[in-house]
Structure 1
Amino acid sequence: MSATTIDRPVAEKTPLTFGGVVRGEWVKLRSVRSSGLTVLGAALMMLVTGLVFASTVGSDSDGADGVTDPTGITLSGVMFAQLVTGVLGVLVVSNEYATGMIRSTLTAVPSRLPVLLGKVAVVVGTLFPTMLAVSFTVFLAGQAVMGGAKLPTAAVGDPGVLAALVGSAATMTGVAVIGVALGALLRSTAGAISTLVVLVFLLPGLGGLLLPASWRDDALKYLPSSASEAFTSVVPAPGLLGPSAGAAVFAAWVVVPLLLAAVLLRRRDA
């Protein structure tokens, strides 16, 4: 009897899809305890700050006459929560460089760009719905507090309120994406967080002190914090960009660092 040879197809290595990359990044994010604590910290920062401001706003001599933007009062925590979400964005990238895991990640995904986009997708998918829910919660709770104190209140259906709530969630998420970009650009937790703090929080004050008065206002309104205020405020401060222009400028602050990070990620060694 002659032996029969059975040809078996050689198993080909299946390329990792973008969906697989996103699932992998999601596993990384939720498996690190500090990630969940950071998201919780941002939510608590929003809630506590908004309710404290809502509880104390009518206690000064102006009373109810001093309340011109009830929505802005309850969303006062956005500027603080941005710092927390930005730190989360940085850590999503810089932690992998610190531990050396980035080499395994980039070996599994040689094209590299899906890794960065996967991190952004996971950060946006986690933060935006969370912070949107928190924005609505603190707004409704804060309006109830101010209404109980006989102070002016706002409703979701009032002009500009819904845009402010959605814009606030988008701003906090956008700062987190800037954090992702800075983490990929600098590959250092301390350096990326320091740069984020300067860019988003310190630069407006420094610009006000150092820039010549002749073009100070024109320059400062293009900073990320001022641009975001233009489309997240029901009663915006004088001298800001319009809502559409502010949104476009803020989007540029998010997209440009991300593009630079994508270029350097493909060109540099891990």
Structure 2
Amino acid sequence: MSATTGGITFRGVVRGEWVKLRSLRSSVFTVLAAAAVLLGVGLIFAATAGTDSDGANGVTEPAGITLTGAMFAQLVIGVLGVLVITGEYATGMIRSTLTAVPSRLPVLAAKAGVVTAVVFPVMIAAVLAVFFGGQIIMGANGFPTTTIGAPGVTTALLGTAATMAGVAVMGVALGTLLRNTAGAITTLVALLFLVPGLGGLVLPASWRDNVLKYLPSTASDAFTRVTPGPELLSAGTGAAVFAAWVVVPLLAAAVTLRGRDV
């Protein structure tokens, strides 16, 4: 990618997208809401761990319990990614943006980069907070705990934050492709939540293991669980598959943005 676009440097495009993101209260609140959901749900599950009929024996993955809120936070953070681009289509600001950057692709790259740069560190902070807070709560209640140095824990924590950033970029890509907030959010929700559930119900048993594990939510499970089950991909393969689910829509968005009218 060229360092300049019609007299405007890529750094300038990134700076502009950063100003847009931070100046919108809805964007700031959405990021904080995702962190709050991750933290709140995780601590609630930690506080109620082992209260079922299995007792303490039910706490088999202490780190995983604290990360339970991740699937809910994904929905919130995905909405942020969608709104980063569809908000401009809704207001008509996208015309000014693309007029200032005629080559267009730097705009998409800058939006994806800024969203990633904001979401990942915030989610890292939230993940660490819920992990350590959850271990304290479970330990105080007499249930098994773990440490950040235990096998698989660091990978699960970093993988959870990376998944959040990836979902946000998927939102940017879908928003660019569809140019409609409701349509992009619906597609993202279906892809992450509805398709895996429906696939488990309607696919023949012989297909399930070979198909479902390649869906984005299932692929991310391979590197966000401390002890992935045998039905999942390996951590490395899961990360590669999830990355493909992020990169391919982004490339499709780039081609579409470059080739169509605003």
State the alpha-carbon separation in 1 of the partners of residues 52 and 91 from structure 2: 51
State the alpha-carbon separation in 2 of the partners of residues 239 and 214 from structure 1: 13
Partner of 2:211: 219
Structure 1 gap segments, 5+ residues each: 1-12
Q: What pairs with 1:135-154 in structure 2 (closer than 5 Å)?
A: 135-154=127-146
| CA distances 1:26-57 after superposition (whole Å, capped 9, x unpaired) | 11111111001101110110011000000001
Of 185, 196, 200, the residue aligned with 1:193 is 185
Q: What pairs with 1:62-211 in structure 2 (closer than 5 Å)?
A: 62-211=54-203
Partner of 2:241: 249
State the alpha-carbon separation in 1 of the partners of residues 209 and 242 from structure 2: 17
Relative distance call for 1:210 and 1:50 in structure 2 (3 A) is same
**Residue 64 (structure 1) shift:** 1.1
Relative distance call for 1:14 and 1:194 in structure 2 (3 A) is closer
Q: Read off the aligned partner of 2:82 and give its amino acid letter.
A: V
Q: Read off the aligned partner of 2:187 and give its amino acid letter.
A: T
**Residue 210 (structure 1) shift:** 1.5
Structure 2 length-normalised TM:
0.97
Moved more, 229-238 or 245-254: 229-238
**Residue 14 (structure 1) shift:** 7.1
* Deviation beyond 2 Å, 4+ runs, structure 1: none
Of 32, 42, 49, the residue aligned with 1:50 is 42
State the alpha-carbon separation in 1 of the partners of residues 91 and 52 from structure 2: 51
Q: Read off the aligned partner of 1:218 and give its amino acid letter.
A: N
Q: Read off the aligned partner of 2:62 and give its amino acid letter.
A: P
Moved more, 194-203 or 236-245: 236-245
Q: Secondary structure at the match of 1:240?
A: coil
**Residue 238 (structure 1) shift:** 3.2
Q: Secondary structure at the match of 2:206?
A: coil
State the alpha-carbon separation in 2 of the partners of residues 236 and 103 from structure 1: 46
State the alpha-carbon separation in 2 of the partners of residues 237 and 97 from structure 1: 42
Relative distance call for 1:212 and 1:24 in structure 2 (3 A) is same
Partner of 1:261: 253
The structure having more radius of gyration, on CA atoms, is 1
Q: Percent identity?
A: 68
| CA distances 1:92-135 after superposition (whole Å, capped 9, x unpaired) | 00000011100000000011000000001110000000000110
Structure 1 length-normalised TM:
0.94
Partner of 1:4: none
Structure 2 gap segments, 5+ residues each: none
